[in-house]
Structure 1
Amino acid sequence: MNNNHNLSNGKITCCQICSNKELINVINLGHQAPCDSLIWPEQLNQPEKRYPLNLQRCKECGLVQIDHVVEPQELFFAEYPYRSGITSTLANNLRNTASTIVKRYQLPKGGLAVDLGSNDGTLLEGFQKENMKVLGFEPTNIANLANEKGIKTIQKFFNDSLVPEIIKKYGKAEVITACNMFAHVSQLGSLIMGAENLLVDNGLFVTESHYLLDLIDTVQYDSIYHEHLKYYSVKSIIKLFEYYNFTVIDIDRIPNYGGSIRVYAKKGKSHEVSTKVENLLKEEVDRGLYNNLIYEDFKNKIKKSKLQLQNLILDGKNNNLKIVGIGCPGRATTLLSYCNLDADALDYIAEQSTSLKLGLFTPGTYIPIVDERIMFEDQPDIAIILSWHYWEPIVEKLRAKGLKSKIIIPLPEVRIID
């Protein structure tokens, strides 16, 4: 079967899974800077690279995808500012994921668990606690943090060419995980073939990605950025694994990142498949996920939410209110850029004191990122939560620390919390 699983940089002209050339435009979010290309103070007067950010869907397999590949080294550069263990909610989710996988599939003690895009090793800590050997692959300098914690991590992009040496040194893997990175990979064919060759017979490959239906239901246009090449439905991810020696045996819908799917694929082609898979496929059809109407509605809701947020901020500025942002996830770049919100709109963005982003500026909009202690001293009139998909625990912590500002939740529609 023809496929387009190993992409070249630049414009994409056919589906990233099935190579179909009939792609339908969903929305154009303009030219944007890569979401994590934060600006150092000395770079503020230098040119900044921006790339097209257009969302399309394949009429054949249903994959929703962006239409431009940015060179991976420009997205996942050595000084990558994201740590998976920096929030307790996310860290606990990752460790619990490891425990769930081990118990559900009765993985053997002493077996090897490999995590791709392992970041600071938080997920692998969970496998370690289940008495498994662990190995991570992380292309950025965050790998150093994992190694310092005793989580063996190789600072490289994982691909099939590395597998013979890995097997020679560490043996074959019982389980391979790819959480919140499976949609990021331009050389996906090489990654999946590598996973297939590294796994033992009947070994388990577990991926987590944003779920297309949740993205649409919650108007999460801010999770559309250059790192995320694909937005999987159940139909499209099953189609992807059909090209390889894997069977999708089960799928969980999980709340991570505003709504994701955890996909369990087993090496081999003759495995029993959970009824949940068929039920999810039916739900997608019943919801009209493969018709134009749902995408037209999605586009209209995006435009409406943009205008709501712009009007609220404009009204605040006209009344001399101080407005700030809270949290600077990658998704904030898309929201701020699409809504044309820069340092004239937000005085600053507050981050935790341990954040690697302090002292930098947002890409494309040049808003300073400061220690949250400044915000608690300032008590601004309005604070917009940019990690809105975790807004409830964030608001609880902010109020407990004494923040009195009105809080804005920007999506799926603008809400004000006094």
Structure 2
Amino acid sequence: MSKPYCRLCGAELESTFVDLGMSPPCESYLRAEQCDQGETFYPLHVRICSECLLVQLPAYIAPEDIFNDYAYFSSYSDSWVRHAERFVDGAVGRLALGDDAFVVEVASNDGYLLQHCVARGIRCLGVEPAANIAETANAKGIPTEVLFLGEDTGTKLADVHGKADLVVANNVFAHVPDIVDFSKGLRALVADAGYVSIEIPHLLRLIEGREYDTIYHEHYSYLSLLTTQRVLAAAGLSVVDVEELPTHGGSLRTWSTPTSIAPEPSPAVAAVLSDESAAGLHTLEGHQGFASAVARVRNDFVEFLIQCARDGKKVAAYGAPGKGNTLLNHCGIRSDLISFAVDRSPHKHGLFLPGTHIPIHPVERLALERPDVIVIMPWNLRDEIATQLEYVRSWGAELVVALPALEVF
């Protein structure tokens, strides 16, 4: 069997980071009639390149198949909309963005971020591959182009709309199989004196927090600052500053400029690189041990749910995020252990989770069913969700997260 090749340097991928077995695409929610039909499962076998150290999942599924009709709408997370507003406020101050500025966001989703640019009178453009989501953004008055970014499409967009003072790519860098061509698209979009801001889940925090549910088929790369630098350098961009963020269990926000005008990197860049090196992430050997940590998470969660079943407790899930489907399928959970899920997004109501076939209902279902245990699937939003669920204490329900470790609270 031939091995895949690194999407950055082209070396053969011979080393495993973690193998989660087979799973369906995490956003492939099912209609009722589809539950009696066959489902396609794909490997979740993550490799690491021994040459450039990029941790990556081979492109088992083409992005066109994943993002053609996407189910994730960013605006249904209040905290994420606030995070986007804070980013825009900060970027305006940092870059002195005025009425004549131009901001482009790649993977702009439903306009959750660019709406804050519109409110400030800043000209903006969204670039979103999912047509159904782009339609929502356009309806809000946020101009959005439907396409995948690459060097060619980035050049064409710049020819039509001009080059941007700021190009934003939040939580999309890991979602593209040809990450070098995507980076070249970013370079094509940004002005020679402009900035590119990228937010990525930080591999260092993923490993520390055992956050393996962030591994799924639409996440093709798992990035450290070191590998992010290497990818961007291949496109003529240099990281000049970095911020550490709490989002998604621990993320990085990098600020890059065209290499030709890039100043010396800030001390923050050296500090993050030093932390990564101390954790072993600048060597192949330093990435070992994650698989055994993942096995402990799975075992603890399954044992807890089995004990709930033995005790006659009804268990529900709050939230139906894509990453939750990685956890549930890896653990082999079905509706005998988690009766149903609820979600704020009406686009998921009446559907079933892929692989596990757990039904998804509106949040109001919790008050009707009164489950004894509620598992918060988007554990990174646990504080926000726990506040929303304060009313379940009236019937004595327990709240649970499985990651980064099993906790009942």
2:225 matched to 1:230? no
Which residue is equivalent to 2:74?
Answer: 84
1:335 maps to what in 2? 327
Deviations 1:36-73 (A, max 9, x none): 00001121111111111011212222221113431112
Mapping 1:42-53, distance limit 5 Å = 42-53=33-44
Matches within 5 A, 1:6-405: 13-78=4-69, 80-140=70-130, 141-272=132-263, 273-291=265-283, 294-352=286-344, 354-400=345-391, 404-405=396-397
Pairwise CA distance, 1:332: 0.7
Secondary structure at 2:76 match in 1: coil
- Distance, in Å, in 1 between the alignment partners of 2:62 and 2:235 is 25
Following the alignment from structure 1 to structure 2, what is the Cα–Cα distance between the partners of residues 137 and 406?
41
After superposition, give the CA deviation of every residue in 1:365-387 in whole Å (9 maximum; x if it has no partner). Answer: 11000111111222111111101
1:358 & 1:225 partners in 2: Cα distance? 22
Label 1:270 to 1:156 Cα distance change in 2 as closer, same or farther (>3 A).
Answer: closer
Unaligned runs of 5+ in 1: 1-10
For residues 279-300 of structure 1, the C-alpha deviation after alignment (integer angstroms, 9 at most, x for no partner) is 1111111122234665443222
Contact 1:376–1:402, Cα closer than 8 Å, also in 2 = no
Q: Give the equivalent residue in structure 1 for 2:399.
A: 407
| CA gap 1:319/1:133 in 2 versus in 1, 3 angstroms | same
Change (3 A) 1:19 1:292: closer
Cα distance in 2 for residues equivalent to 1:159 and 1:281: 28
TM-score, structure 2 as length reference = 0.94
State the AA in 2 paired with 1:239: R
TM-score (norm 1): 0.92
Aligned partners of 1:321 and 1:261: how far apart in 2?
40
**C-alpha distance in structure 2 between counterparts of 1:81 and 1:130, whole Å:** 29
Residues in 2 aligned to 1:362 and 1:193: alpha-carbon distance in whole angstroms: 36
1:101-127 CA distance string (max 9 Å, x none): 221122343221111111001111122
CA RMSD of aligned residues (A): 1.8
Deviation at 1:164, TM superposition (A): 4.8
Count of residue pairs brought into register by the alignment = 405
- Partner Cα separation in structure 2 for residue 61 and residue 242 of structure 1: 13
Contact (CA 8 Å) 2:7, 2:179: kept in 1 or not? Answer: no
Q: Secondary structure at the match of 2:348?
A: coil
Distance 2:52 2:170 in 1: 23
Residues 145-177 of structure 1 show CA distances to partners (whole Å, capped at 9, x for unaligned) of: 111110001122223323454334322211111
Q: Deviations over 1:281-323 (max 9, x none)?
A: 1111112223466544322221111111111111111122111
Contact 1:96–1:126 (Cα < 8 Å) also in 2: no
d(CA) in 1 for partners of 2:176, 2:393: 41
Select between 355-364 and 124-133 the one with higher mean Cα deviation: 124-133
CA contact (8 A) 1:12 1:69 kept: no
Distance in 2, Cα, partners of 1:296 & 1:37: 31
Structure 1 match to 2:408: 416
Structure 2 Cα separation of the partners of residues 416 and 98 of structure 1:
36
Q: For 2:83 and 2:122, how far apart are their aligned partners in 1? A: 18
**3-state SS of 1:263 partner:** strand
Residues 115 and 177, structure 1, Cα contact 8 Å, conserved in 2: yes
Instruction: Report the CA distance between 1:274 and its aligned residue.
Output: 0.7
| CA distance in structure 1 between the aligned counterparts of 2:326 and 2:342, rounded to whole angstroms | 17
Q: 1:15–1:23: 8 Å Cα contact kept in structure 2?
A: no
Q: Structure 1's 369 and 29: CA in aligned 2 closer, same or farther, altered over 3 A?
A: same
Letter in 2 for 1:137: V
Moved more, 14-23 or 266-275: 14-23
Once the two structures are aligned, what percentage of the paired residues are identical?
29
Q: For the Cα contact (< 8 Å) 1:117–1:139, is it kept in 2?
A: yes
Give 1:251 shift. Answer: 1.0
Distance, in Å, in 2 between the alignment partners of 1:332 and 1:296 is: 24
CA contact 2:197–2:253 (8 Å) conserved in 1: yes
> Aligned equivalents of 1:244 and 1:214: distance in 2?
26
**CA 1:131/1:241 → structure 2, altered by over 3 Å: closer, same or farther?**
same
Rounded Cα–Cα distance in structure 2 between residues aligned with 1:389 and 1:377: 26
